[in-house]
Chains A and B, each alone.
Chain A
Amino acid sequence: MNTDELNRLLEKFYDGETTREEELKLERFFSSEPIPAHLQVDRELFLSMKKHDSQIEVPQELSGMLSDLIDRCEAEDAQTLSAPKGFSIRFKAFTQQFRFYSAAASILILLGLSLTLFKMNDTRPRDTFSDPMEAYLETQRILSYVSKNMQAGEKAVALYDTNLKKVHQVLEEKRIIE
């Protein structure tokens, strides 16, 4: 492979654009030919990203284990098949009934859930008093509370205002003297 092609392939590789064939080509090149020093990193990286089959040891017991597994499955299948016929018919009828009831139950659960959720999400204001007189008194109580607080606030502001005026006066006098 010439340098141009090598550079082009490497660029494609880092851009994620290479095909499997092109990657194999790079791999063959890197593992056989002597390469320029500046490509040493790419070479090491490229070859290190591959896993060779010879690096993987297949456990010896694998085939035996799988063979046992199949035998066990076959034995289980045989057991289910040899179950008495009457039982299997009854079982079938039971599963059909079960299917019907489970469908009915699911619908009920869904209905219940949707109603509950609807109620939970309902944010419309609700009446809290049934007696109009009681409601009137409560409103009055709240309004008087608000006005009391507002009065307190007004007093504080008035005090601040007089203080400010005093300061202003002093400053004014000072200016006149000067």
Chain B
Amino acid sequence: MESEEFKRLFIPLADKLYRIVRRLVDNDEEAKDIIQDAYLKLWEIRDQLREIENREAFCVRLVKNQALDYLKSARYKNACDSISGDMAQEIPQTEKNADPLSEMIRTENGAIVSKLIEHLPQQQKELIRLRHYGECSMEEIVGLTGISAGNVRTILSRARKKIKEEFEKIFEYEHR
């Protein structure tokens, strides 16, 4: 596959792939790096890519894998420790065409919930990110993490209950 064909087929997917990675890793620079690495990998196997039926699904899987590797890496743990949740606190941009007040509340709650997720144990944090931010199906999570479906459910349940418990305290305090 020549570079022109490669670019024509894969560059248009970049925005979508970036969004997927960015949802999972919460950091612009890391997301960019992950995408670049993914494109390098794609380029290396470019001759086999013709045989792949669903290129987009293949790329999505590839970047999710790379993002998960990053979340498991020492680099990510160091980033979490040194910035101590600054990234998690980062307030996302508000959605357009929505009621500004409810949007502001949502944004604020979003930041609180991100922070609560950051404080979960490593495995719970990973699965919550994959499920809620990465919108991964159960099969995908099992494939990506190698954890059995039963265990994924247990870990997700524990994490969700924990987040709810903590969130409830904050929410009730704010609405007293």
Given A44-B109, A48-B113, A67-B11, A54 contacting B167 (CB threshold 8 A): no
Q: How far does the alpha carbon of A47 sit from the alpha carbon of B105 in the complex, in Å? A: 11
Closest chain A CB from B92 CB (angstroms): 4
B7 adjacent to A67 (CB under 8 Å): yes
B93 adjacent to A69 (CB under 8 Å): no
Q: Which of A15-23, A133-141, A158-166 contacts B (4 or more CB under 8 A)?
A: A15-23
Contact pick for B23, options A19, A47, A56, CB 8 Å: A56
| Chain A residues whose C-beta falls within 8 Å of the C-beta of B138 in the assembled complex | 19-20
Q: How far does the alpha carbon of A20 sit from the alpha carbon of B176 in the complex, in Å? A: 34
Query: Digit string of A1-40 for contact with B (CB within 8 Å is 1, else 0)?
Result: 0000000000001111101100000000000000000001
Sort chain A's interface into a size bin.
Answer: 35 or more
Q: Which residues, 43 to 93 on B, are CB-close (under 8 Å) to A? A: 43, 92-93
Contact pick for B110, options A19, A41, A48, CB 8 Å: A48
Query: Digit string of A55-89 for contact with B (CB within 8 Å is 1, else 0)?
Result: 11111001101110111011000000000000000
| Chain A residues whose C-beta falls within 8 Å of the C-beta of B171 in the assembled complex | 40-41, 44
Name the residue on A nearest B39 (C-beta): A66
Q: Which residues, 152 to 176 on B, are CB-close (under 8 Å) to A? A: 152-158, 160-161, 163-164, 167-168, 171-172
Name the residue on A nearest B155 (C-beta): A16
Closest chain A CB from B175 CB (angstroms): 8
Point out residues on B near A: beta carbons under 8 Å: 3, 6-7, 10-11, 14-15, 18-19, 22-23, 28, 32, 35-36, 39-40, 43, 92-93, 95-96, 105-106, 109-110, 112-113, 117, 128, 132-133, 135, 137-138, 152-158, 160-161, 163-164, 167-168, 171-172
| Chain A residues whose C-beta falls within 8 Å of the C-beta of B39 in the assembled complex | 66, 69-70
| Chain A residues whose C-beta falls within 8 Å of the C-beta of B168 in the assembled complex | 41
| Chain A residues whose C-beta falls within 8 Å of the C-beta of B157 in the assembled complex | 14-17
Closest chain B CB from A94 CB (angstroms): 24
Q: How far does the alpha carbon of A53 sit from the alpha carbon of B36 in the complex, in Å? A: 20
Point out residues on A near B: beta carbons under 8 Å: 13-17, 19-20, 40-42, 44-45, 47-59, 62-63, 65-67, 69-71, 73-74
Given A54-B96, A59-B28, A73-B43, A20 contacting B137 (CB threshold 8 A): yes
**Interface SS, B side:** helix
Q: How far does the alpha carbon of A10 sit from the alpha carbon of B105 in the complex, in Å? A: 22
| Chain A residues whose C-beta falls within 8 Å of the C-beta of B133 in the assembled complex | 50-51
A-B contact pairs, 5 of them (CB 8 A): A14-B161, A41-B168, A45-B163, A65-B36, A74-B3
**Interface SS, A side:** helix
A70 adjacent to B6 (CB under 8 Å): yes
Name the residue on B nearest A57 (C-beta): B93
Contact pick for A62, options B14, B155, B164, CB 8 Å: B14
| Chain A residues whose C-beta falls within 8 Å of the C-beta of B113 in the assembled complex | 45, 48-49
| Chain A residues whose C-beta falls within 8 Å of the C-beta of B18 in the assembled complex | 56, 58-59, 62
| Chain A residues whose C-beta falls within 8 Å of the C-beta of B28 in the assembled complex | 59
